[in-house]
Amino acid sequence: MIQWHPKHIPIERSCSSAKKIQYAPYTILSGGFLLLIIIGAALLKLPVATYEPISWVQSFFTATSAVTVTGLVVVDTGSAFTLFGQLVIALLIQLGGLGLMTFAIVTLIALGGRIGFLEKVVAKEAFNQTDSSTLIATAKSVIIFALTVELVGMLILAMYWSDELGWQTSLFHGFFYTISAFNNAGFALSADSLIPYVSDPVVNITITALFIIGGLGFSVWIDIKRKKRWSKLTVYSRLMILGTIALNSVALIAIYLIEQDNPNTLANLSESGKWLAAWFQAVTPRTAGFNTLPIDQLEDSSTLMMLMLMFIGGGSMSTASGIKVVTFIVLLLATYSFLRRDEQVLAFNREISKESIKKALAITMISAGVTWLAVFLLLLTEHAPMLDILFEAVSALGTVGLSRGLTSQLTSQGEFIIIVLMFIGRVGPLTLAYILAAPRQKKLRFAETKIAIG
């Protein structure tokens, strides 16, 4: 069994080879996404992709938004892009969402080639598997699972829409919305997202089911399939499931209570419509990006709640982004354990490793720092209220795709900043920082000091 963490790399390795191995997975991941974005942007710039020509910035923005499964749009997907353009977008979403890694492995298997050390490391990082022997099985499971769920979702939506749209269009809509929802992309075929279906139970339940399943993360589903019983699940899976239920429940009740008298959102809906709309808006910030209510009409307190949910995001190794639900839970548990003066941070009678806590701290600091810097820069380039800018930046970094309407009014500098945020958000703030920071082997141990904090 090969251990990934560099402290397990034997000291006698030469520095340059150690470096190459350390950089490789992140470089490949980032490079792969970048390549996919460039190809996508070129395809979307083709005359056949749009009814009216779009600019390079617009095609790059759209390709980045699709590959990073964000869903922010500068041109309306439904009216600006042809069927070809929409297919390209759907393909970019699927490739981006499931990750290049899965496809790389499948390709290798299909070609009958051996998987080298490098690919194993890459895949291990992607699926968070520590046992490389189960890797190929895992990759297969992921693909089969994803395609099965998508097929079911597509059939439900296509059948449901067939009366309204005719079978050809409804099939394509079912295909497009399923891919967009399962991959938490949030791309819609109309400018008002799913607002027309605000009280529609079939659309609400199917779409939210798709993006919650996708956003929970494959590792949890694989774990459930293997272990069957709650007590046998990994600590990670249990934290993720409980965290998802807790966040969704709190958000549902808060949004219902806050918005019930707002005439621009819930007030004029039926009681069941109110709950459906509150539910949809409660779960979409993590990080689906569809909406059935006008986001800019929500009360500021709901908006603040959405900002927090978008920052947290979904599950690790999923189609969602953000700092991740379990990262947030680990921060809470570490705080709680400090207040109780516990030496260990516990979850389900297991200690959460110091390495995990450090990683949670690092990823949160970097995300907060990137968000702060982006908002600072956007305040210099855009003329818009701070809240709209903050919402846009958090949405882009969390690859959420919700907007208070700023996206279409961005300056070209603003568009560039959002493109960068979406890319960082998907590749992972930590991954990018890993690449930038030069790792070094420490030989000396230093004495410890306690210093005043707070």
CB 320 within 8 A of CB 313: yes
Q: What is the dihedral angle through the alpha carbons of 208, 127, 322, 147, rounded to the nearest 10 degrees?
A: -20
CB 311 within 8 A of CB 394: yes
Least Å distance between CB 335 and a copy of itself?
4
Hey, which residues between 333 and 362 contact a copy of itself (CB under 8 A)?
334-344, 346-347, 349-362
Hey, which residues between 305 and 334 contact a copy of itself (CB under 8 A)?
305, 308, 316-317, 323-324, 326-327, 330-332, 334
Closer of 167 and 376 to a copy of itself (Cβ): 376
Q: Closest by alpha carbon to 100, among 130, 68, 74?
A: 68
Give how far Cα 151 sits from Cα of 89, 165, 193, 207, 325, Å: 18, 19, 22, 13, 27
Closer of 36 and 306 to a copy of itself (Cβ): 306
Contact segment (CB under 5 A) with K ion among 7-15, 69-77, 202-210, 417-425 equals 69-77
Q: Closest by alpha carbon to 383, among 412, 404, 416, 411?
A: 411
Contacting residue, 106, 195, 235, 252, with a copy of itself by CB under 8 A: 235
- Residues near K ion (CB under 5 A), total: 6
Asked whether position 439 contacts a copy of itself by CB under 8 A, the answer is yes
Asked whether position 71 contacts K ion by CB under 5 A, the answer is yes
Asked whether position 405 contacts a copy of itself by CB under 8 A, the answer is no
Contact segment (CB under 8 A) with a copy of itself among 78-86, 206-214, 232-240, 415-423 equals 232-240
Closer of 228 and 450 to a copy of itself (Cβ): 450
- Separation between Cα atoms, residue 208 and residue 281, nearest integer Å: 10
Give how far Cα 79 sits from Cα of 35, 50, 388, 405, Å: 27, 9, 25, 18
The most distant pair of C-alpha atoms in the chain lies apart, rounded to whole Å, by 73
Least Å distance between CB 424 and a copy of itself?
13
Angle, alpha carbons 326-328-333 (nearest 5°) = 90
361 binds, among K ion, a copy of itself, none (CB under 5 to 8 A by kind): a copy of itself
Amino acid identity at 328: F
448 φ/ψ sector (left φ>0, alpha ψ -120 to 50, else beta): beta
Q: Would you state the structure tokens that stand for residue 397, as one six-digit string?
A: 């970094």
Hey, which residues between 200 and 219 contact a copy of itself (CB under 8 A)?
219
Closer of 205 and 433 to a copy of itself (Cβ): 433
2 binds, among a copy of itself, K ion, none (CB under 5 to 8 A by kind): none
Residues 6+ apart with CB under 8 A from 360: 323, 327, 330, 331, 334
Give how far Cα 314 sits from Cα of 242, 284, 321, 391, Å: 12, 10, 6, 17
Closer of 24 and 195 to K ion (Cβ): 195
- Quickly tell me which residue has 């589903």 as its tokens: 221
- Quickly tell me which residue has 């141990």 as its tokens: 445
Asked whether position 226 contacts a copy of itself by CB under 8 A, the answer is no
Closer of 228 and 445 to a copy of itself (Cβ): 445
Contacting residue, 17, 55, 128, 408, with a copy of itself by CB under 8 A: 128
- Quickly tell me which residue has 């400018």 as its tokens: 191
Closer of 277 and 309 to a copy of itself (Cβ): 309
Contacting residue, 217, 313, 401, 414, with K ion by CB under 5 A: 401
Site string for K ion, 282-311 (x = CB under 5 A): -----x-x----------------------
3-state secondary structure of 439: coil
Least Å distance between CB 367 and a copy of itself?
9
Asked whether position 79 contacts a copy of itself by CB under 8 A, the answer is no
Contact segment (CB under 8 A) with a copy of itself among 111-119, 147-155, 204-212, 427-435 equals 427-435
- For helices 56-67 and 412-427, give the axis angle rounded to 10 degrees: 20
Q: Phi then psi for 209, rounded to 5 degrees?
A: -60, -45
Hey, which residues between 236 and 265 contact K ion (CB under 5 A)?
none
Asked whether position 428 contacts a copy of itself by CB under 8 A, the answer is yes
Asked whether position 229 contacts a copy of itself by CB under 8 A, the answer is no
